[in-house]
């Protein structure tokens, strides 16, 4: 809708950069395939978008009620517990300045053959 009125095929053609004949064909093809619905005023709309909006609204209302109290204070899974434990632990500072240096092996065999 545009300014409270359904958009005409001529307006839709201008908005999309198509020719009015193309828009008419496309709209007719979509109508025949049952892709959209039309209101009593001739406004085209998506049934799925309306359903999704209704579900979103219901979920928002339920979320404002605070959720399911039975789901609060649930025991953690082993994975969640290990994540929380590792977050709580801090690595102790290194006591030796040389601890950050280590001898690394080259990524390829040394010259002359096998390792």
The mean pLDDT value for 13-37 works out to 93
Q: How is residue 108 annotated by DSSP?
A: S
User: What confidence tens digit (pLDDT) does each residue in 37-90 have?
Assistant: 988 888 888 999 999 999 999 989 888 887 677 776 666 677 777 776 666 666
Q: Residue ranges of the domains in the chain? A: 9-66
Question: Half-sphere exposure of residue 107, counting CA atoms within 13 Å on the CB side?
Answer: 0
Residue 54, pLDDT score: 95
CA distance 63 to 101: 53
Token reading at 108 = 């390829």
Residues in the chain: 115
- Closest Cα to residue 12, out of 95, 21, 66? 21
């Amino acid at each position: 809708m545009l300014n409270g009125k359904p958009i005409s095929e001529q307006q839709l053609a201008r908005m999309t950069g198509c020719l009015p004949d193309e828009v008419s064909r496309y709209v007719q093809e979509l109508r025949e395939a049952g892709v959209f619905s039309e209101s009593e005023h001739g406004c085209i709309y998506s049934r799925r978008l309306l359903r999704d909006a209704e579900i979103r609204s219901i979920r928002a209302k339920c979320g404002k009620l605070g959720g399911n109290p039975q789901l609060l204070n649930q025991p953690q899974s082993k994975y969640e517990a290990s994540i929380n434990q590792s977050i709580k632990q801090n690595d102790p500072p290194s006591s030796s300045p040389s601890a950050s240096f280590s001898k690394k092996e080259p990524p390829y065999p040394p010259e002359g053959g096998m390792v």
